[in-house]
C-alpha cells in the first residue's frame, strides 16, 4: 500500500473484470469506512488524503507525552452502527463505558448536574428534582404544561422555535442550546428539527416533545443518549481501519491534495490531484490525473464544492479544541462529573462552549497516569463565528483556557500546574443533506458517479457518520436507475436569542 503520496497517478484505475474502480477522497473515518465497504465488495479503491496522516478528527495526539483523542473521544450507542463496525474489526472487546458521573451545565447563577433527558437536552421529567434545580420552579412548571398544548404548536419550525413554543425559553437556554452547541456546533435556531435523529418522527407519533424525549431515551435511536469509547481511545478505530485497507489491497495516498473531480471520457470520473510539496504549505507538486468509474467525496461540504466547481457553501463551523495536561490532586474528586456544557447566560464570562474532564470520564486512562494527573479538553467555536481562540498566540490561549476551566470547574487552577497544552482547529460541518438522496437545501446534488459522505451528509457523530459512509458506498456499488427526487429540508427560520 503506497502511503507517501509519491509517484505517478495510479494507472489502469478504470473498470476491470473483477469490479469497478473507485476513488475515495478523504481519509477520515467516513472515507476509511467507505473505502473498506467498497473493497469488501470487490472494487479497486484508491484513497486520497490531503494530510500526512489518516484519521481526520478521529486521531490520536499527545499532550505532555500523554495520548489523547483530540477529536471524537466517544460514540453514541444509538442504532448500534459503531459497535457493529468495531465488532467486524475485532475491537468489540475494547469497548468501555464512561464513568457514571453525569454531566453538568454551567449557567450565570451557578453549576448544576444536567437533568435526565431523552435527546438534545429536552427534559424527560420536567418536574423531577434535577430538572427543577436546572430550570427553577417556574421553568419546570412551564415545561410540564407541554403535553396540554395542541400538536400544531411550534410545528414546521427550527428546533429553537419548537422548543421555545412548547417548553419555554428556560429549557431552550439552559438545556437544549448548550447541548446542541456541544454536539452539533450549531445554534438550535439554525437547526431543522429533522437534523436531530428520530426527534421529528417521535414527535409526530407522540404529539408532545416530552413524550418524544422519553421514547428516544428508552430506544437505541436516542440521540445524545448513552455513549461508549475504546479502552485506548478512538484512535484505535483509525488504526484498525487502516490495517484493514492494507489487507484488502486499497491504495492509500497521503499528502495528496485533490483539486478537481469531474466527468471524464466515456462517462468516467477524472481525479486531478497533486502531492503536497515539501517546499511549503502554499506549494504543490505537479498535478497528476487518474480515471475512475466513480468517486466518493468524504470531505467537508466546502471542499466538495470546490472539487466539483460548485458555488461556495455557507460558512462551516470552525472549532478549536484546547487540551490541557494538569497536575492537581483536587481534580481527583471530579467536581463537574465527566464534564460540563456552558449555558447561553454564562457567555461571555466563559468563552468555551464545553469542557470534558477526560480522566474523570475514562477511569482506565486516569489509572495509567496516576493520582493527581488530569487531562481537560475545552472546545471553542460556534456556527457563523470564528473560535474565540482563533489567531491568538499560545500564551493567550493558555490563559483563556485556564480561566474558563477554573470557572467551569469551580476552582482556581494554577498556571504552574499545567504540564502541557495542545491546540487543534477544524471545520465542523452542519447537517444539510439527506443521506438517502445526496441532495441538500443549498442546492448541491450528487453528480452521476459521485457520492457524498461526512457529517454534513449524515449528521454529527460516529453513530451518524459511519452509516452514511456505508450508504454512500452502496449508492456507488448499486446506483439507482433514475435519480431520486431531492428531499426538501426547510431552510432555517430567522431566530433571535443568545449566540
Predicted confidence band of residue 486 (pLDDT cuts 50, 70, 90): very low
Residue 306 lies in a domain: yes
What is the C-alpha separation between 168 and 178, in angstroms, rounded? Answer: 15
Q: What DSSP assignment string belongs to 32-82?
A: HHHHHHHHHTT-EEEEE-SSSSSBTTS-EEEETTEEEESS---EE-GGGHH
Q: What is the rounded average pLDDT of the residues 8-32?
A: 72
Residue 103 lies in a domain: no
The CB-side HSE value for 489 (13 A sphere, CA atoms) comes to 26
Residues 415 and 440 in one domain: no
Count CB neighbours of 286 within 10 A.
8
Q: What is the rounded average pLDDT of the residues 354-379?
A: 91
Nearest one of 141, 156, 278, 234 to 461, comparing CA atoms: 234
Residues 373 and 412 in one domain: yes
| CATH number of the domain bearing residue 388 | 3.90.660.20
Residue 108 lies in a domain: no
Residues 420 and 336 in one domain: yes
Q: What is the rounded average pLDDT of the residues 158-163?
A: 93
- Tens of pLDDT along 189-221? 888 888 787 888 889 999 999 998 888 776 543
Q: Is the pLDDT higher at 384 or at 104?
A: 104
Residue 252 is predicted with a pLDDT of: 96
Q: Is the pLDDT higher at 76 or at 376?
A: 376
Residues 443 and 392 in one domain: no
- Tens of pLDDT along 273-309? 988 655 555 555 678 889 999 999 999 998 999 999 9
Q: Quick check: 223 pLDDT over 50?
A: no
Nearest one of 179, 117, 124, 120 to 343, comparing CA atoms: 179
Full residue range of the structural domain in which residue 194 is found: 116-225
Predicted confidence band of residue 369 (pLDDT cuts 50, 70, 90): confident
Burial class (CB in 10 A: 0-12, 13-18, 19+), 411: middle
CB 490 within 8 A of CB 195: no
Taking CA atoms, 10 is separated from 290, 412, 435, in Å, by 6, 56, 30
- pTM, two decimals, is 0.82
Q: Is the pLDDT higher at 41 or at 114?
A: 41
Handedness of CA 185, 187, 193, 198 (dihedral sign): positive
Domain finish residue from 428, 445, 462: 428
Residues 448 and 300 in one domain: yes
Per the prediction, the chain carries an average pLDDT of 84
Predicted confidence band of residue 266 (pLDDT cuts 50, 70, 90): low
Residue 319's contacts (CB-CB under 8 Å, 6 or more residues apart) are 185, 379, 380, 381, 387, 425, 426, 427, 428
Residue 15 is predicted with a pLDDT of: 47
Predicted confidence band of residue 120 (pLDDT cuts 50, 70, 90): confident
Burial class (CB in 10 A: 0-12, 13-18, 19+), 386: middle
CA–CA–CA angle 460, 295, 265 (5° rounding): 155
Residues 346 and 475 in one domain: no
| CATH number of the domain bearing residue 182 | 1.10.3110.10
How many structural domains is the chain composed of? 3
What is the C-alpha separation between 370 and 116, in angstroms, rounded? Answer: 32
Residue 76 is predicted with a pLDDT of: 83
Residue 195 is predicted with a pLDDT of: 79
- Tens of pLDDT along 407-462? 999 999 999 999 999 999 887 655 443 333 343 444 688 999 999 999 888 888 89
CB 293 within 8 A of CB 42: no
- Tens of pLDDT along 380-412? 987 667 889 999 999 999 999 999 999 999 999
Residue 428 is predicted with a pLDDT of: 66
Residues 212 and 121 in one domain: yes
Amino acid at each position: 500500500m503506497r502511503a507517501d503520496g509519491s509517484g505517478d497517478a495510479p494507472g489502469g484505475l478504470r473498470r476491470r473484470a473483477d469490479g469497478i474502480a473507485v476513488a475515495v477522497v478523504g481519509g477520515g473515518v467516513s472515507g476509511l469506512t467507505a473505502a473498506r465497504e467498497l473493497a469488501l465488495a470487490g472494487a479497486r479503491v484508491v484513497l486520497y488524503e490531503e494530510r500526512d496522516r489518516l484519521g481526520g478528527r478521529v486521531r490520536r495526539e499527545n499532550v505532555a507525552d500523554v495520548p489523547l483523542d483530540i477529536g471524537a473521544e466517544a460514540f453514541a450507542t444509538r442504532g448500534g452502527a459503531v459497535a457493529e463496525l468495531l465488532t467486524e474489526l475485532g475491537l468489540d472487546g475494547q469497548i468501555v463505558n464512561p464513568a457514571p458521573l453525569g454531566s453538568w451545565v454551567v449557567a450565570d447563577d451557578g453549576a448544576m448536574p444536567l437533568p435526565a433527558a431523552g435527546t438534545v437536552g429536552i427534559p424527560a421529567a420536567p418536574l423531577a428534582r434535577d430538572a427543577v434545580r436546572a430550570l427553577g420552579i417556574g421553568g419546570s412548571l412551564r415545561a410540564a404544561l407541554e403535553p396540554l398544548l395542541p400538536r400544531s404548536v411550534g410545528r414546521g419550525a427550527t428546533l429553537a422555535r419548537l422548543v421555545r413554543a412548547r417548553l419555554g425559553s428556560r429549557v431552550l437556554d439552559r438545556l437544549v442550546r448548550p447541548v446542541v452547541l456541544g454536539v452539533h456546533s450549531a445554534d438550535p435556531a439554525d437547526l431543522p428539527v429533522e437534523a436531530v435523529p428520530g426527534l421529528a418522527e417521535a414527535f409526530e407519533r407522540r404529539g408532545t416533545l416530552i413524550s418524544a424525549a422519553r421514547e428516544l431515551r428508552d430506544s437505541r435511536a436516542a440521540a445524545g443518549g448513552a455513549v461508549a469509547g475504546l479502552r485506548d481511545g478512538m484512535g484505535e478505530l483509525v488504526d484498525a481501519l487502516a490495517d484493514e485497507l492494507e489487507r484488502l489491497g486499497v491504495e492509500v495516498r497521503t499528502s495528496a491534495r485533490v483539486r478537481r473531480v469531474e466527468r471524464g471520457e466515456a462517462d468516467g470520473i477524472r481525479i486531478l490531484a497533486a502531492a503536497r510539496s515539501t517546499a511549503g504549505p502554499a506549494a504543490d507538486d505537479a498535478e497528476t490525473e487518474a480515471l475512475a468509474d466513480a468517486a466518493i467525496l468524504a470531505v467537508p461540504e466546502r471542499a466538495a464544492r470546490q472539487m466539483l466547481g460548485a458555488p461556495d457553501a455557507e460558512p462551516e463551523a470552525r472549532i478549536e479544541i484546547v487540551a490541557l495536561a494538569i497536575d492537581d490532586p483536587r481534580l481527583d474528586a471530579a467536581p463537574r462529573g465527566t464534564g460540563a456544557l456552558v449555558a447561553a447566560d454564562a457567555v461571555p464570562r466563559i468563552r468555551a462552549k464545553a469542557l470534558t474532564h477526560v480522566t474523570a470520564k475514562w477511569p482506565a486512562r486516569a489509572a495509567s497516569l496516576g493520582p493527581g494527573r488530569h487531562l481537560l479538553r475545552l472546545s471553542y467555536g460556534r456556527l457563523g463565528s470564528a473560535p474565540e481562540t482563533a489567531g491568538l498566540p499560545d500564551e493567550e490561549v493558555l490563559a483563556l483556557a485556564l480561566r474558563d476551566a477554573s470557572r467551569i470547574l469551580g476552582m482556581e487552577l494554577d498556571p504552574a500546574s499545567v504540564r502541557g497544552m495542545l491546540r487543534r482547529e477544524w471545520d465542523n460541518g452542519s447537517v444539510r443533506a439527506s443521506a438517502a438522496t445526496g441532495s441538500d437545501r443549498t442546492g448541491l446534488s450528487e453528480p452521476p458517479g459521485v457520492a457524498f459522505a461526512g457529517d454534513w451528509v449524515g449528521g454529527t457523530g460516529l453513530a451518524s457518520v459511519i452509516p452514511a459512509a456505508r450508504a454512500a458506498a452502496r449508492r456507488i456499488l448499486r446506483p439507482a436507475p433514475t435519480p431520486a427526487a431531492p428531499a426538501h429540508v426547510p431552510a432555517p427560520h430567522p431566530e433571535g436569542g443568545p449566540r
